[in-house]
Amino acid sequence: MKIPATMSLPNNLDDVDAGFMTALLRARNLIDADNHVVSTTDAGVGMTAGYFSAIKKVKCRYAKTTNAPDSFVVKTWPEFENAPREQIADMFAKDIVAYSMDSKGFYPRPNVYLADFDAESDRWALVMDDVNVFGDQKLHEHEMSFDEVMLMVPKLVEIAVAWEGCHEGEQAKQLDEIGLTHWASPENLAAFKQIMPGGSLIFDAVTGMGDSTLINGFPWDVELGPGLSELFTKKMDAFYSAINPARGATCTLVHGDLRGDNLFFAPATDAYPDGWLTIDFQLLTRGPVPSDLAYLMTSGSVLPEVYELKNRDRIMRHFFDLFMTKTQKYKRYTWEQFRQEYSVMSTVLFVYFVGFGANIWQSGINNELPARVEVGDRGDTEADLAPEEMRQRMWWRKSIANFRTTFKDLDLYNRLLSLPLNEGAMGAWVELPDHLKKR
């Protein structure tokens, strides 16, 4: 959905006003030439959305009665950059391309009215249906149940099968053309090896604070092993080598950020037949078959009883058994290999917390953003935080608890100890300030 020839891409959210929406909706033949948007009402979407883009909801009021949609979500370039600009540009381009891909064998997603960018002028824009109008967003306040996760499995399997073996052949060419790398590719790992040292030591300090509400009395240095984030950062090349297709790992398309705030459940209709849909494809990648399931199950988006070992295995087995009835590429895939690939990909959100979160943890040291409670030196408490900051911390707390349980079951720390150190360049390590060293 390119920008109409008579229009210009917005520079920021403020540019998407009544005039812009009138021109766009007329160009899409959704309103007549004698109708227009009288006014728009804007609203935010919460702090756990918009890490790599600026987002707002837009409600349109029309001059004349129409059947056109009136509720939209708009995305432009982020105000706060959590990663290098080149990395954000790459992610935004993926998001835009994903909304332009053939829907067959792809993730259920909202209808989109604009998906375009101009990298030279640094303008990026998405305009799509506001799914909250007809669907229930699985916000992190209300984690997913066992039954809800199981409802998603058939479609996730369908997508995995549709793109199986996409590291080679025509599908590989298609994904190569849009710059979609594999999670274990040297390019992707190099990017994270640059940014993770900026957050590793701070995240280790935070997860070691048993008195923090983010940790709830289960410090990681005791529960998992001392310095897990630092150790992982130094050994991620070897750790992720296990999912390299060149070494026999499976490969398929991967959403990259399949978590509650990006998921909606809605009654099945002709327009949305699957009962659920997802948004935010900025982290779209390639990886092994269980990747999306592993990410969802470690995202803080599911209830503790869902990611508890017994039910986790039930969900994994359901996915695996269904996949094996449909696969054409991986008929010799074993349960053991599936579990191994799942365990590796269960660490992806943790990498995001340490790497993409590096700027957040560093800002906390400067007494900014919600992490200042743990790492600032002013003595701020949760009583000093805004409601949206508390909501962000709520998601952190649930994800950190999920990581702890999952990594303990996987014996992640001891697995890392046996691996060799990374080769190649690493980013600058951000050391702890004195007030954190004394804790």
The upper half-sphere exposure of residue 213, i.e. CA atoms within 13 Å in the direction of its Cβ, equals 13
**Two tokens, residue 409:** 């079951």
Residue 18 exposed, middle or buried by CB count within 10 Å (0-12, 13-18, 19+): middle
What's the pLDDT tens digit per position in 395-437?
999 999 999 999 999 999 999 999 999 999 999 999 999 999 8
Per-residue confidence (pLDDT) for residue 51, from 0 to 100: 60
Alpha-carbon distance values, 44 to 17, 255, 409 (Å): 15, 24, 38
- Phi/psi at 127 (5° precision): -130, 125
Residue 85: per-residue pLDDT: 79
Asked whether 77 and 53 are in contact (CB, 8 A), the reply is yes
Given a cut of 50, whether residue 48 has pLDDT beyond it is no
Q: Answer with the residue of higher pLDDT: 89 or 281.
A: 281
Q: pLDDT for 169-197, tens place per residue?
A: 999 999 999 889 999 999 999 999 999 99
The more confidently predicted of residues 32 and 122 is: 32
Cα 44 to its chain centre, rounded Å, is: 19
250-268 pLDDT, tens digit each: 999 999 999 999 999 998 8
- Using alpha carbons only, give the angle 348, 349, 355 rounded to the nearest 5 degrees: 90
Phi/psi at 429 (5° precision): -80, 125
Report the pLDDT value the prediction gives residue 178, as an integer from 0 to 100: 87
Q: Give Dmax (Cα) for the chain.
A: 70
| pLDDT band for position 221 (cuts 50, 70, 90) | very high
* Mean pLDDT for the stretch of residues 232-247: 98
| Tens of pLDDT, residues 324-352 | 999 999 999 999 999 999 999 999 999 99
CA distances from 193 to 44, 86, 217, 232, 236 (A): 33, 15, 30, 10, 8
Band of residue 103 on the pLDDT scale cut at 50, 70, 90: confident
Which pLDDT does position 47 carry in this prediction? 46
Q: Which pLDDT value is given to residue 78?
A: 80
Nearest to 374, CA basis, from 388, 352, 389? 389
pLDDT at 98: 92
- Residue holding tokens 């991986």? 330
Average model confidence (pLDDT) across the chain? 94
Which token pair is 372?
């200042």
Question: Residue 259, Cα to own-chain centre: how many angstroms?
Answer: 7
The 3-class secondary structure across the chain, one letter per residue, is CCCCCCCCCCCCHHHCCHHHHHHHHHHCCCCCCCCCEEEEEEECCCCCCCCCCEEEEEEEEECCCCCCCCEEEEEECCCCCCCCHHHHHHHHHHHHHHCCCCCCCCCCCCCEEEEEEECCCCEEEEEEECHHHCCEECCCCCCECHHHHHHHHHHHHHHHHHCCCCCCHHHHHHHHHCCCCECCCHHHHHHHHHHHHHCHHHHHHHHCCCCCCCCCCCCHHHHCCCCHHHHHHHHHHHHHHHHCHHHCCCCEEECCCCCHHHEEECCCCCCCCCCEEECCCCCCEEECCCHHHHHHHCCCCECHHHHCHHHHHHHHHHHHHHHHHHCCCCCCCCHHHHHHHHHHHCCHHHHHHHHCCHHHHHHHHCCCCCCHHHHCCCCCCHHHCCHHHHHHHHHHHHHHHHHHHHHHHHCHHHHHHCCCCCCCCCCCCCCCCHHHHCC
pLDDT at 211 over 70: yes
Strand 263-265 relative to strand 136-137, pairing: antiparallel
pLDDT top residue among 148 and 89: 148
Considering only residues 439 and 285, tell me which one the structure prediction assigns the higher pLDDT: 285
Percent of the chain beyond pLDDT 90?
85
Q: Which residues lie below 8 Å from residue 342, measured CB to CB, with a gap of 6+?
A: 290, 293, 294, 316
State the sign of the Cα–Cα–Cα–Cα dihedral 281, 275, 49, 192.
Answer: negative
More confident position, 92 or 156: 156
Contacts of 432-438 with C-beta under 8 Å, sequence gap 24+, read 432/201, 432/202, 432/205, 433/365, 433/375, 433/377, 435/377, 436/202, 436/205, 436/365, 436/375
Confidence of residue 83 (pLDDT cuts 50, 70, 90): low
The answer to whether residues 316 and 339 touch, using CB atoms and an 8 Å cutoff, is yes
